[in-house]
Structures are given as structure tokens and as C-alpha cells.
Amino acid sequence: MKQFQIPEFYRSSIISTVKAKRRLEDPRKKDFSPTLLNFGRLRLLIARHFGFCYGVENAIEIAYRALSENPGKRIFLLSQMIHNPDVNDDLLANGIQFLQDTMGKQLIPFETLAKSDIVLIPAFGTTIEIENRLIAQGIDVQQYNTTCPFVEKVWNRSEKLGELSHTIIIHGKYNHEETRATFSRSTQNGKALILKDLKEAKLLAEYVKGSKSSEDFYIDFAGKYSEGFDVLKDLSKLGVVNQTTMLATETQEITDYLREIMIEKFGLADIKNHMADTRDTLCYATNDNQSSTLGLLEESADFGIVVGGYNSSNTMHLVEILEKKYPVFFVRGATELNSKTEVTHFNIHSKIIEKTLDFIPSKESVTIAITSGASCPDASVDQVIKRLLEIFEVEESIEQILN
């Protein structure tokens, strides 16, 4: 796989050693069990895969190249490069400005841009409408386009589905930048509809089967369907793609469920004419990270720590997976581990930052499962590990354990 040129301060010493060792032991990535770092009183279970993915490293490399190649020029990002505060704060510190926030709210008017300005497309991509507007203003949107190749793969698949008259079902969060971009691209060649989860897929099934009035569809899915959507016509051929940071298992569950509904309505013999096979759109990094998090569940732990940006969709899904078995603390970094008696963390359900006291159990040996999102630098996980070693007053050196 390509080696990207990213700043050294994103690299790590602990995690890079762990990952290098696992690559030698398991080059084909068949083993999703975690790595154990045993310090006696503290046992750390490190997930097999986590951290910067191909798309994120590609985006960061392009962003820093834009900085080095354009001294003195104004440089803008459409919105956050990725959903990680450390990365975005560093880009801001280097002079890059954000044109929009993550919800699409304008921070700097497009009309203030000049042809000489540099505009970077973030890893999530952008909509056709925004891209065309920038082009009309004379902005080169391709020179520093950091759109993830796996997001573009979803777009290409959507284009083919539309050309074959399939309605494109997008499994994603309606307001997420990537989903907005995929929806925009999908509507260029066909009809599109966004589903957040299996519950919405089951609601859609009522309209596929004709058991709900088509007029209600436009209320139930308000703002989530493409212009001119015809319930009676556009639900006879479906193809499911996804926001690449969603739970891969949930995307597959939605696809399998809708396939059964289409078989029920049109029959198994004719299913290929009504339901597309879109398994090839699932992101490898999302699959690997989520499979590795499931691998953590095979082990016993007192609690888990997930490191990443609080607005990171893929990181939230890792929290969802782990909390099925034990308490999980979602932290931005080492500074949230205030002491042995207090941790500051994000509650993905209430969407608020909380403080939990006495989060470390009083026992002879404590086991902690650790992973991070695809937009989180390995250096941040290193810092969390070092902070835990301080809290537990571990005397062994990390080098001894790694060897």
C-alpha cells in the first residue's frame, strides 16, 4: 500500500511498533484478535486495526502539500478536513480557513473567493452544486481535491445504478457531509433516498409492498428523497450504497432485508432485475476497524477507551460495538484522563460531555480495551497509553513490554 508523507507528529512509537509486529505475524489480515500489552497491574488490549486509513492519510498529505506549494496565498477548506479536532486545529494554525461548518452553514461567503485562492475539497467530498459554483468562480477544485477514493467508489457505483434505472438507497446520516455529497451525485443519474437505519428500511418496506399510502411517504421521508420521486414507480428497482463510515454490518442488514422484501413482491426468479448486488461499495478500512472492535469483544475487559473526534461517525460506531459488553469512555485524547478517579468523555446517546468518577475498578489487575477512529492519529493513542501508565504508576518501560 502507498506510503503517504504526513507530519511526523502524527506518527507514534508505541502503536507503530505494535502494528508493525502484527503485520509481520499476519500479513493477510486474517486475525482480528487484539494485541495484549501486559504490565501486570495494567493490561491493555490493543485492537488489531484502527487509526488513520488510506483516505485520511491521502487527505492530510494533499493538505500539507497545498500549504508548502502556495506560500502567501489564501488557502481554504470547504469544511473540516476530517472529523478530528487535532488535525483540524493544526490546519487552522497553519493558516487554512474553513468555508463551512460540518452542517453546511456558511462561515465565509463563496462570493469573497478570488481565482487566485486555493480551495481544498475535504475527504468526505462535496456536492455537485458546490463544486459547480466554485468552478464558475474560476476556482480549480481538482488541484487539491482530497476526496477519499473509497467515497468516489461509492459515487461511481451510484452512477451505474442510476443508469440502470435503480433507485439509489443511501445508508447514511442525512446531514453528514459525505451523505450530502453522495446524495447530490446520485441524483444526477437517477432517483435517490437516504435511510438512517434498519427502522427506516422497515418503514420503506411498507411503501414497497403498497401497504401504506404513497402520500404518507413524502411526510415520513421529508427532505430525504430526490426531486420528482414517484413512490409507485421508483421503488421497483433498488440498489443500496452507504456513507463509508456507517456500520458495515448494518448496511448489509438493510440490504438483505430490502432484498427479502423485493423477493416477496417480485419473486426470487426475477430478483436480479429488482435488487442490485452492492457489496463492493463497503470501505475496507471501515470493515477492518469494525471487525477488530468485534475482536475486542472476544476478550474480557473491565472497560474500553475509544479515542477520536466527538463528531466522528465511524468512531461513534466503534463505541456502539464495544458498549454492548462493557463500559466505554469516548475521549478526544490523553487530557480527558484527568486522574485515576475521573475521566471526561463524550456520551454518544445524549450528545453531551460527561465526567465519570471512580471509573477504574479497585482490583489487583485492570484490563482496558483500546481502539480509535479512522480519523485519529496513532500519536493520540500513544499519549493515552502513556497517561494510563502514569495513572497506574507502572514501573516497567514500554520498550520492555513491546520486545
Task: Say if strands 42-46 and 35-38 run parallel, antiparallel, or are unpaired.
Answer: antiparallel
Point out the catalytic residue in the list 57, 131, 177, 178. Answer: 178
Residues with Cβ within 8 Å of 88's Cβ and at least 6 positions away in sequence, in order, are 80, 81, 82, 98
Residue with cell 487566485: 116
3-state secondary structure 68-132: HHCCCCCEEECCCCCCCHHHHHHHHHCCCEECECCCCCECCCHHHCCCCCEEEECCCCCCHHHHH
Q: Are the beta carbons of 374 and 245 closer than 8 angstroms?
A: yes
200 among known catalytic residues: no
Other beta carbons within 10 Å of 235: 26
Question: What is the helix (H) or strand (E) element at residue 384, kind and residue range?
Answer: helix 378-391
Residue owning grid cell 432484498: 259
Measuring CA to CA, which residue among 224, 11, 246 is closest to residue 124? 246
**N- to C-terminal Cα distance for the chain?**
26
Per-residue cell: 17: 511498533
Return d(Cα 70, Cα 68) in angstroms, integer.
6
Compute the distance between CA of residue 40 and CA of residue 367 in angstroms, rounded to an integer.
10
In the block, cell 497545498 appears at 66
Catalytic positions are: 178
